[in-house]
Structure 1
Amino acid sequence: MALRRSGPRASGKLGSVFYVSVGICALFVVWASVFTENLTTVSSMALDWLTGGFGWAYLVVSLAMLLFLVYLACSRHGRGRLGGPGDRPEFSRWSWYAMILAAVMGVGLISYGVAEPIAHFAAPPHDLAAPGSREAAVLALQYSYFDWGLHAWAIFGVFGLAIGFSTYRKGRRGLVSPMLRPVLGRRVDGWLGKAIDVLAIFSTMFGTTTSLGLGAVQMNSGLTTLWGVPSTTLVQVLIIVAVTGLFTLSAVTGVHKGIRFLSETTMGLAALLFVFLLAVGPTVFVVNLFVESVGAYADGFFGMSLKTSAFGDLPWMQSWTYFMMAWWISWGAFVGVFLARISRGRTIREFVVAVLAVPSTVFFAWFAVFGGSAIERDYFHGADIAGSSAGDAIFATLGQFPLAGVTSFVAIVLVALFFVSGADANTYVLAMLSSHGVERPKRAVLVVWGVLTGVTAVVLLLAGGLNALQTTVIITSAPFVVLLVLLAVSFWKELRAEPREEVLAEELETELERTPVS
């Protein structure tokens, strides 16, 4: 769902952050286009060095962010508000929940809802079970929950809280650098602050390009299944070009009602597809597997959270755990801006509970229904969905049940709608971050970032397909791991520095709101 673009339009000249970030991204595009082999060699070496030596940092930091949020929710700081003492929520609680889900419930969910569980079922993580076994089925969902659940949303939650507190409580610009003032001091006003904002833009853009690449592959697979369209890089490039034109046009024209309608339609279609497969699929098996896998997830939570590549599992970790955590960090600024915007007036406790619990529950259910149905087909009926490519897996699963043509078409439409609405909001955030944090960036800036995002996705797809996209997002997000820690420390320092009388006043107001009038 797109952000509401209210407030003054940008005025004056664009600053160095815009020109430097655009310049670096353009140089990367040239590098990937002209010196493709060199890029592949350098990025592979960087990937092995980063994940081999510091991959554990992704695990430790994401777990630390989760524990930090839980502590905040349970502490007296949980009653503080994202905004002034008199600010109250703009949206109803159910609308707020729906918009939280819309923040990331996109292309990746369709792409990985079957592909990840069935891949883990065929090749269990860390060789913890025999391939295709009962134990592998439980592990498959257990690790899918890990990749898409609490850890991911803890990263988004820290960004959202820090951005909301800095923007609506302290009245600062909507940039990453001002949030680090408690730690870095006045240095955020100089070159260091600009470098941080450039880094935020760079990381955010590659998170978006990864989604574009995955979406193109997914749509191509669906078109092949339904109408025999060739599954080629050329077709995927054409899909990216078409979608880039749509989301750039949407960002420029600011058709908020249309994007909101698309987002709500997408959520409705996703819910219908979910309910349909649950009803016509192996319902009893799915429910049983869901309950057992959630139990395994809870039982092995800390073990999974700190499972590293010490015993030679680096390639698997690069393809899954490290990539997923890096992807979430690269999306942190975008999702954080969105969550902050829709959560103004909410208490910190409300925010933490909603952001951690609501999407995680929905994602767990989605993976159990779609991934569990695929596992049941392979385990009991020899369907060999595990032999499908990542892009074909969901269509191979839908093909096992009634109305396969209709449901496959709905899945393609879902990918396209997620494509447009998600990339539209992402383009807006890139433009905002490169335009002094204003809420209404210039149209020319929106066009630049829309086109540059699409071009980058195309060159990475041509340079090495999904492997190139995964490698790039891990590398570009690495410095943001450090910034995420600094962000949490800065936020904590500001919370503790809040005048005690203001905190007490907010606590009293909250209690009065909950007390019924006699």
Structure 2
Amino acid sequence: MKKVTDVFWISLIICVIFVLWGGFAPENLGNVSSSIQSFLTDKFGWLYIFSVAIFLFYSIYLIFSKYGKMKLGNQNDKPEYNRLTWFAMLFSAGMGIGIIFWGVAEPLAHFASAPESDPETVEAAAKALRYSTFHWGLHTWAIYTIIALSIAYFKFRRKAPGMISATFEPLLGEKVNGGIGKIIDIIAVFATIFGVATSLGLGASQIGGGLAFISDIENTISTKFIIIVVVTVLFMISAWSGISRGIKYLSNINILLAIALLLLTIILGPTGFIIESIFSTAWSYIKNLPADTFRVSPADPEFNQWVKDWTIFYWAWFIAWSPFVGMFIARISKGRTIREFVSGVLFVPTIFCIVWFAVFGGTGLFQELEGINTGLKNLATEEAMFGMFSSLPLGTLATILALFLIGTFFITSADSATFVLGMQSTNGSLNPPNVVKLSWGVIQAATASVLLASGGLQALQTASIVSAFPFIFILLFMIVSLTKAMREDYQKLK
């Protein structure tokens, strides 16, 4: 424990207090956090919307800017991982459980109550796939791009500690090593804990839903707690083995299982409808991207509430995830040029998401439209994917494969998060002590458990929105600091 900093102890104390609060007074925790969430979405919903738009525009600017050829490291550094492994690792960290949880459920939710269209129609189905892709596409990965690029740039090019506070050196100077820097890092740790806890809670709920579909096990809160405990033990074993073994191997397994599940669903499902949905959704997404980016519709209360329930929740969740995902992507990206990095992080996962929602969401929508499985939209959110599989040939096989995929994503996300939290609380060490990683593993599991106990899915959403709010400002100033550093280094290169 000699490597730990004040950030570790202060963050740990805050998290323990929160866990005790949720353990002894879950209803009070739920009420207080819901009140804070309502205030933030009512008063500052616009801030989430416009900040994420800034992140996307800045990321695209970097691809075409004069800084594109600059490397994350020395100009002769080579990437540590090949492109396929790199894509697999960043995708596993950045999407993980969420895309499986919502792959069928979100399109069905929009289909049943799509804004600006009649529900349960062909038009509603098309919009459902477009909205789902919008929430998981370029905007999401732009958030991760900003923080990952900043950390990697300062870590590998300027040899700064791998801390989020270190990215503010051009703006704060030596103050990054003082109280202001510690506050930035503590906010990052806090946001990471709740962002990851949201995913762990979703994963436990969906694994429980899948087990309930293929067995007599009921998806109760006790079942979810047991799942969290079992998976916690597994990801701690993976965390103990290190990033080049546990996370690397599991990430490759994740991408193989995901592709296998995709192909199986395309073959067993409505193949023609799926292929057409991929192209039509991609075109609709691109065509409507500018309008969808800025639409908050203050004059339309129904649509405005939909934005709060979906878009703002997602932007907040991904912002809360971003310290963890950003640090992890930065750690595995040394030696890549800024242009290659931004292009890879933005576009490859987005293309995968378009295909994912067209395959799984499209299959669920097809079953509803054709009357094959009309009760699908009425299932619990965590059961939607398994309900869709139940109407396919070899549906049980697909369900088992999906459960394995959720499990490996669960382990990979939590494993990556313990590594990143370890880095943040040991002054950016690329090999944080195992005892630190295991401490954060226990905290993550406990936080996910108390959130489930204090309100289930709603509590998970609330935690993301609240914890993400202060981190928005950190990301915005991070852009200013990164631009200043790149301008200085570019002049030196010239």
Count of residues in correspondence between the two structures: 491
Cα-to-partner distance string for 1:250-292 (whole Å, 9 max, x where unaligned):
2134384344333222211111110111112111112222222
Give the secondary structure class of the aligned counterpart of 1:146.
helix
Cα-to-partner distance string for 1:200-227 (whole Å, 9 max, x where unaligned):
0000011110011000010001101111
Instruction: Provide the residue aligned with 1:214 in structure 2.
Output: 202
Cα-to-partner distance string for 1:468-506 (whole Å, 9 max, x where unaligned):
01101110010001111011111011111115251x4xx
Instruction: Provide the residue aligned with 1:509 in structure 2.
Output: none
Cα-to-partner distance string for 1:428-462 (whole Å, 9 max, x where unaligned):
11111011111122222112111111011111111
Instruction: Provide the residue aligned with 2:357 in structure 1.
Output: 367
1:355 aligns with 2:348: no
Q: What TM-score comes out, normalization by structure 2 length?
A: 0.96
Provide the C-alpha distance between the structure 2 equivalents of 1:238 and 1:98, rounded to a whole number of angstroms. 28
Provide the C-alpha distance between the structure 1 equivalents of 2:261 and 2:159, rounded to a whole number of angstroms. 42
Provide the C-alpha distance between the structure 2 equivalents of 1:66 and 1:499, rounded to a whole number of angstroms. 22
1:23 aligns with 2:13: yes
Q: Answer with 105-114 or 164-173: which moved more.
A: 105-114
Instruction: Provide the residue aligned with 1:413 in structure 2.
Output: 404
1:442 aligns with 2:433: yes
1:477 aligns with 2:468: yes
Q: 1:223 to 1:432 in 2, by over 3 A?
A: same
**CA positional deviation for 1:55:** 0.9
Instruction: Provide the residue aligned with 1:143 in structure 2.
Output: 131
- Letter of the structure 2 residue corresponding to residue 186 of structure 1: E
1:395 aligns with 2:383: no
Q: 1:197 to 1:356 in 2, by over 3 A?
A: same
Give the secondary structure class of the aligned counterpart of 1:397.
helix
Q: How does 1:216-255 map to 2 (within 5 A)?
A: 216-254=204-242
Are the counterparts in 1 of residues 313 and 465 from structure 2 also a CA contact under 8 Å? yes
Give the secondary structure class of the aligned counterpart of 2:427.
coil
1:422 aligns with 2:413: yes
- Letter of the structure 2 residue corresponding to residue 245 of structure 1: V
Q: How does 1:284-363 map to 2 (within 5 A)?
A: 284-308=272-296, 310=298, 311-312=300-301, 313-363=303-353
Provide the C-alpha distance between the structure 2 equivalents of 1:12 and 1:396, rounded to a whole number of angstroms. 50
Provide the C-alpha distance between the structure 1 equivalents of 2:247 and 2:406, rounded to a whole number of angstroms. 15
Are the counterparts in 1 of residues 250 and 408 from structure 2 also a CA contact under 8 Å? yes
Are the counterparts in 2 of residues 52 and 314 from structure 1 also a CA contact under 8 Å? no
In structure 1, list runs of 5 or more residues that go unmatched. Answer: 1-10, 505-518
Instruction: Provide the residue aligned with 1:510 in structure 2.
Output: none
**CA positional deviation for 1:26:** 0.8
Are the counterparts in 2 of residues 40 and 468 from structure 1 also a CA contact under 8 Å? yes
Cα-to-partner distance string for 1:54-105 (whole Å, 9 max, x where unaligned):
1111111111111111111111111111111221222333333333323324
Q: Answer with 254-263 or 22-31: which moved more.
A: 254-263
Instruction: Provide the residue aligned with 1:432 in structure 2.
Output: 423
Instruction: Provide the residue aligned with 2:168 in structure 1.
Output: 180
1:468 aligns with 2:459: yes
Q: What TM-score comes out, normalization by structure 1 length?
A: 0.92
Instruction: Provide the residue aligned with 1:4 in structure 2.
Output: none
**CA positional deviation for 1:13:** 5.5
- Letter of the structure 1 residue corresponding to residue 332 of structure 2: I
- Letter of the structure 2 residue corresponding to residue 175 of structure 1: M
Provide the C-alpha distance between the structure 1 equivalents of 2:286 and 2:3, rounded to a whole number of angstroms. 52
**CA positional deviation for 1:140:** 0.4
Q: How does 1:33-182 map to 2 (within 5 A)?
A: 33-124=23-114, 127-182=115-170
Are the counterparts in 1 of residues 85 and 248 from structure 2 also a CA contact under 8 Å? no
Provide the C-alpha distance between the structure 2 equivalents of 1:501 and 1:181, rounded to a whole number of angstroms. 18
Q: Answer with 318-327 or 244-253: which moved more.
A: 244-253
Q: Answer with 298-307 or 128-137: which moved more.
A: 298-307
- Letter of the structure 2 residue corresponding to residue 316 of structure 1: W
Are the counterparts in 2 of residues 51 and 314 from structure 1 also a CA contact under 8 Å? no
Instruction: Provide the residue aligned with 1:508 in structure 2.
Output: none
Q: 1:194 to 1:258 in 2, by over 3 A?
A: closer
Provide the C-alpha distance between the structure 2 equivalents of 1:22 and 1:386, rounded to a whole number of angstroms. 41
In structure 2, list runs of 5 or more residues that go unmatched. Answer: none
**CA positional deviation for 1:142:** 0.7
- Letter of the structure 1 residue corresponding to residue 264 of structure 2: F
Instruction: Provide the residue aligned with 1:196 in structure 2.
Output: 184
Provide the C-alpha distance between the structure 2 equivalents of 1:343 and 1:441, rounded to a whole number of angstroms. 18
Q: 1:465 to 1:341 in 2, by over 3 A?
A: same
Q: 1:206 to 1:239 in 2, by over 3 A?
A: same
**CA positional deviation for 1:331:** 1.3
Provide the C-alpha distance between the structure 2 equivalents of 1:208 and 1:407, rounded to a whole number of angstroms. 26
Q: Answer with 336-345 or 47-56: which moved more.
A: 336-345
Give the secondary structure class of the aligned counterpart of 1:300.
helix
Are the counterparts in 2 of residues 52 and 309 from structure 1 also a CA contact under 8 Å? no
- Letter of the structure 1 residue corresponding to residue 32 of structure 2: V
Provide the C-alpha distance between the structure 1 equivalents of 2:250 and 2:485, rounded to a whole number of angstroms. 38
Give the secondary structure class of the aligned counterpart of 1:78.
coil
Provide the C-alpha distance between the structure 2 equivalents of 1:422 and 1:175, rounded to a whole number of angstroms. 20
Are the counterparts in 2 of residues 204 and 330 from structure 1 also a CA contact under 8 Å? yes
Give the secondary structure class of the aligned counterpart of 1:230.
coil
1:404 aligns with 2:392: no
